[in-house]
Amino acid sequence: MTDDIRKRLDPEASIPKHVAIIMDGNGRWAKKKGQPRIAGHKEGMNNVKTIATAASHLGVKVLSLYAFSTENWSRPSKEVNFLMRLPVDFFGTFMPDLIKENIKVLVTGFTDHLPDRTRKVVLKAVEDTKGNTGMILNFAFNYGGRAEIVNAAKNLALKAADGSIDPVKIDDAMFAGQLLTNQLGDLADPDLLIRTSGEERISNFMLWQLAYSEMVFDKTYWPEYSVDNLVEDIKEFDRRDRRFGSI
Ligand code: FPP
């Protein structure tokens, strides 16, 4: 598969090192099929394996997936409970595939506030794949961009108050060092953000990190988002001219 899928892109194509995806449209996909919303989340979960494998074969270094936001707690409890169980299903089913693909799992989010079972299974997946050297599959789970920035500001204020940093010296790098994505090092900022389902907004995802990301809004609902869609969206990225504020 590696060669096959890579051949679909120009050999000179620029592959985004960090791809972030807002996996939207599970509920609408389910409605279209006359099924309950949770059926859409289940199908969406299965699609994570397909797209993560393809991204890894295309040479993507980090794939960040927005799986649960700090605002998603306001959904009906039946849906929240189902979403909290998804990592249990996902890692229970796909861990052998992740190991085979040499994929390293990370989680970016406020894991302390997750139900015990969810937190344990997510942290175990991180632990079990920590020696893998391939693509990083970064789940944004109980993640919110504003909460992340407030948390960073609070950490820096506490350090300034106890004298361990000089507040005058706070700069971009020091601030980014307090963000949850600091664990991704120099790959923390996505090169490409994809949002599925046709909605065109950021929804509190990686507010700091998306400063210079290219954005592609794909009309496909996440459960139907295919390897073809991913290849097309990466081709679109390759056509963009990134200037980072310069000329
Ligand atoms: C948004 O669609 C999607 C979510 C809130 C959940 C996304 C989660 C997955 C795709 C599975 C994640 C997998 C693991 C392993 C954690 P929506 O429900 O807002 O759809 P709608 O806008 O059509 O209603």
Q: Give the model confidence (pLDDT) of 110-167 as tens digits.
A: 999 999 999 999 999 999 999 999 999 999 999 999 999 999 999 999 999 999 999 9
If you take atom 7 of ligand 1, which residue's CA is the nearest one? 67
> Distance between CA atoms of 19 and 55, rounded to whole angstroms?
9
Residues 6+ apart with CB under 8 A from 26: 37, 40, 41, 43, 44, 221, 222, 223
Q: How far apart are CA 64 and CA 228, in angstroms?
A: 19
Does residue 69 carry a pLDDT above 70?
yes
Q: Pick the catalytic residue: 46, 72, 186, 238?
A: 72
Residues 205 and 140: beta-carbon distance below 8 Å: yes
DSSP letter at 10 equals -
Average pLDDT over residues 48-75: 98
- CA 7 to ligand 1 centroid distance, Å: 30
| CA nearest to 214, candidates 7, 12, 17 | 17
Active site residue 72: yes
Please, which residues have CB within 8 angstroms of residue 82's CB and are 6 or more apart in sequence?
38, 41
How confident is the model over 78-104, as pLDDT tens digits?
A: 999 999 999 999 999 999 999 999 999
- Apex 223 CA angle, 72 and 73, nearest 5: 5
Atom of ligand 1 lying closest to residue 25 CA: 23
Do the Cβ atoms of 234 and 13 come closer than 8 Å?
yes
Indicate the pLDDT class of residue 243, thresholds 50, 70 and 90.
confident
What is the structure's pLDDT at 3?
A: 60
What global pTM score does this model have? 0.97
Report the greatest alpha carbon distance in the chain: 59
Q: Which CATH architecture has domain 2-9+16-144+190-235?
A: 3-Layer(aba) Sandwich (3.40)
Output the CA 160–ligand 1 centroid distance in Å.
Answer: 39
pLDDT of residue 247: 80
Q: Indicate the SS3 state at residue 96.
A: helix
Closest protein CA for atom 11 of ligand 1: 45
Collapsing DSSP to helix, strand or coil, 136 comes out as strand
Q: Is 52 in the pocket of ligand 1 (CB under 6 A)?
A: no
- Residue boundaries of the structural domains of the chain: 2-9+16-144+190-235
By the 8 A CB rule, do 56 and 12 touch? no
- For residue 242, name the pLDDT band (cuts at 50, 70, 90): confident
Distance CA 170, CA 208 (A): 15
Q: Quick one: average pLDDT of 222-241?
A: 97
What is d(CA 199, CA 107) in angstroms, rounded to the nearest whole number? 25
How far apart, in whole angstroms, are the C-alpha atoms of residue 209 and residue 190?
7
Question: From the centroid of its chain, how far is CA 3?
Answer: 25
Pairing of strands 62-69, 18-22: parallel
Q: For residue 53, what pLDDT is reported?
A: 98
Dihedrals phi, psi of 234, to nearest 5 degrees: -70, -35
Interstrand relation of 104-108 and 136-143 (parallel, antiparallel or unpaired): parallel
